[in-house]
Structure 1
């Protein structure tokens, strides 16, 4: 897209109207607030719905299998963002991608709200994975479209938008979790209503508030290319459907084999990205050095998210089965613990931003910040093994231990996640800037694909070993990364 087109888009957006920002930020703030309310509300009760007995309203899936499915689901959500980004860039633009994605997510939650079978459950998962892949990366792109490159409000605008994400993530486990733990299908129905509100906010305000933002197609397919692409998509869908129809009855496609397949994709996709970018003739010598520097940061990110994402799997199970939920005269829903991560981010993110600015030139380098993030992640798992060490694995644990574990991992997230986003934009080769951002999100997909393989080793009897090995590995990797930081920094070629 030309600079002239960018200026035309910015000029079409009313530049004042929401907290001193473009009016469109109101539209996107509440669209994403309700989308995250919907997504995190569903996620807060999903693992319980899977492994609770049928007599309690669940599906009766074995717990370890349910934990693995939850990880695979998270991995596929991040992988599908690549498809959503490509469709927006080449076929229908980001605005339509957000709308279509919201519809698919809402339909997925409606299917979950219908008491039914495991087959319906998997239909809902496909709808939500595809819908989130369309909506999640593209709604953020529209935020960027509203600001000119020189607009110093841009970072603050993304901060306000990020607050909407975390407000939705904070409130939904409290609302959907409270209702959903009593009746799962009512809870999923609330999640569907949340997404409906998000769609209404988007549809009824976008024309007035967003102007041309999100309506353009950056790199559209020609009519000939469209015909070819749609043919390939149609044939691929038919082949995949045929293979599934053969593989399931014959026993070739099972939970275990599917989990293994996604695990392979979780490693293979980012590896291919690195190889293609490094070997491309469009990549300069300086950019190749930066790609090498990015690899240990990517590995550290995978390790971090492998721990952080277990907040909705292993720690959710821990909250349900190992935690004393009657505390200070209140009965706590196990789903409420899912609100802790966004709550701590809302409270601590401004403090971290102030702290880095205060340090100025004295702040740690990017690799050192990553090492601190890994250190905190490892410590969060060491903390949660202490109750079993002190009191055994048979007694119920004070919920404050779980709160402390969530708090510590958020300290790590604030050292690593925003720093990683910024580093990705700086280290990306010019010819692969958007794809390198997709690569960053694949670190989360790889982490959850890895989790699907390892969560099966968790039981109350093995929890000390489980938390100890994973937490210890993260701490060792953090120390190694800290020691290698000067070398990585040199390879980054003046990027700070």
Structure 2
């Protein structure tokens, strides 16, 4: 805490004005996370296409249902390893060292995917990406939280800004990596199309390296001593500050609230993360991608969500700040999250309307839905994400017991891991049950659980406070 105060006091602005500004360390973490997300979303945007494209066309030739399962397992595992990374950070290594270890490991993983196009290289590359993510993911978020006092009203605003860094990287990643894979390095020989997926993976690796160079060069200047020591380390000899001190009754209630909300988060992300699997495949086959005679690359649709995030995040951030300064106060965190789930469900209802307009026989696609349907779907999903995800990160960093801060952040992210694995299985069902049935089920369940969360919101607020 002293380090955090020291960083904030480095500003030469008057005290009253500095309270309204965010510390410069937030923007360093913003750009570090931006490059990591560039790496992650760059390879993710082309992963399903890489898996399902035929061997002779530069892919690995997996059947679509199996590819969806592999994708779900990979993205899910990326949210389980933060449990290990959080545990090690709480006890043995500083958050900044963990971020560096994770960044280097992820860069190597993407480089393996670039260097060798085979199934063994796929599994090795994904394993390195999963392991590196475990060190990086929980610590970058909790490090952002360390810049603020527990009751600082700027926290939700700060995490929304931080979330923009995530989505700035997520915006450029599909455009750059997707363009390299689907257009720039696309060749045609004897009528056979060959895609340059490996160059998309290379770009993702370079992005990760750039982020780590900047982070390690500027961390001491903008973060001071924050994140150098393990979370459980303290120079104080007071028993209450020792890592082995038992949790208080309030800490136990708050931990329970985090775990309850994590269950609801599973249902949200299982629907949201269809973007890289079933929504990608549906867009490939059933969305009319022609715009003024030019066909939009499939992977570029992965940039629609971050575009909306960047446009809407400042508005949502200002909304939370404005509500916090009113007599009524801000919306409760569980209320925001319940509304987020309902918005996700409404997005799927729009997609159901699109599916009702499309159709195919055994050999041909009879009719494609207008591009606007998938764009509006992503708009609702984005609004839901902004209501749920950044405030969830802010909540965990604020109310988690200090000795369990990184571990509980890992648990929070692990719930997203379960969701991704579940989402992969749901995506696989689209190949047997059909898109209408799966999209309709996801939409109805999201709205249902959103209303349940609204009903128990007051009880959860009492546990948090």
Asked whether the two chains share a fold, i.e. TM above 0.5, the reply is yes
Matches within 5 A, 1:53-452: 53-146=54-147, 157-181=158-182, 182=186, 183-219=196-232, 282-283=246-247, 296-359=260-323, 360=326, 361=328, 364-393=331-360, 394=365, 395-425=367-397, 428=400, 432-452=404-424
1:211 to partner: Cα distance = 3.5
1:186 to partner: Cα distance = 1.1
CA contact (8 A) 2:347 2:377 kept: yes
Distance 1:191 1:387, change over 3 A: same
1:46 to partner: Cα distance = 0.9
1:425 to partner: Cα distance = 5.0
Q: Residue by residue, what CA displacement relative to the aligned partner does 1:331-366 show, whole Å, maximum 9, x if unpaired?
A: 200001111111111111222233344454276544
CA contact (8 A) 1:325 1:331 kept: yes
Asked if 1:465 is matched to 2:452, the reply is: no
Equivalent position to 1:10, from 7, 12, 18: 7
1:207 to partner: Cα distance = 4.2
| Aligned-partner Cα distance in 2 for 1:287–1:154 | 20
- Find the counterpart in structure 2 of residue 478 from structure 1: 450
Distance 1:45 1:152, change over 3 A: same
| Aligned-partner Cα distance in 1 for 2:253–2:21 | 41
| Aligned-partner Cα distance in 2 for 1:491–1:154 | 19
Q: Residue by residue, what CA displacement relative to the aligned partner does 1:446-495 show, whole Å, maximum 9, x if unpaired?
A: 2112223332211287111111122122222233333x33xx41354275
| Aligned-partner Cα distance in 2 for 1:346–1:475 | 25
1:430 to partner: Cα distance = 6.7
| Aligned-partner Cα distance in 2 for 1:207–1:165 | 22
Query: Which range moved further: 72-81 or 426-435?
Result: 426-435
Distance 1:192 1:281, change over 3 A: closer
CA contact (8 A) 2:305 2:378 kept: yes
- Find the counterpart in structure 2 of residue 35 from structure 1: 36
Distance 1:68 1:152, change over 3 A: same
Greater relative contact order (CA < 8 Å, ≥ 6 in sequence)? 2
Normalised to the residue count of structure 1, the TM-score between the two structures is 0.77
CA RMSD in angstroms comes to 3.2
Q: Residue by residue, what CA displacement relative to the aligned partner does 1:135-167 show, whole Å, maximum 9, x if unpaired?
A: 222233443445566877666554443322211
1:72 to partner: Cα distance = 1.0
CA contact (8 A) 2:81 2:131 kept: yes
| Aligned-partner Cα distance in 1 for 2:263–2:248 | 23
Normalised to the residue count of structure 2, the TM-score between the two structures is 0.82
| Aligned-partner Cα distance in 1 for 2:305–2:117 | 31
CA contact (8 A) 2:350 2:373 kept: yes
Counterpart secondary structure, 1:60? coil
CA contact (8 A) 1:16 1:22 kept: no
Counterpart secondary structure, 1:116? coil
Counterpart secondary structure, 1:78? coil
1:15 to partner: Cα distance = 4.3
CA contact (8 A) 1:426 1:495 kept: no
1:129 to partner: Cα distance = 0.9
- Find the counterpart in structure 1 of residue 16 from structure 2: none
| Aligned-partner Cα distance in 2 for 1:430–1:91 | 15
CA contact (8 A) 1:40 1:172 kept: yes
1:294 to partner: Cα distance = 5.0
| Aligned-partner Cα distance in 2 for 1:474–1:26 | 33
Structure 1: state its 5+ residue gaps.
222-279
| Aligned-partner Cα distance in 2 for 1:213–1:203 | 13
1:195 to partner: Cα distance = 1.4
Distance 1:309 1:491, change over 3 A: closer
CA contact (8 A) 1:290 1:493 kept: no
Query: Which range moved further: 300-309 or 318-327?
Result: 318-327
- Find the counterpart in structure 2 of residue 489 from structure 1: 458
Structure with the bigger percentage of helix: 1
Distance 1:16 1:136, change over 3 A: farther
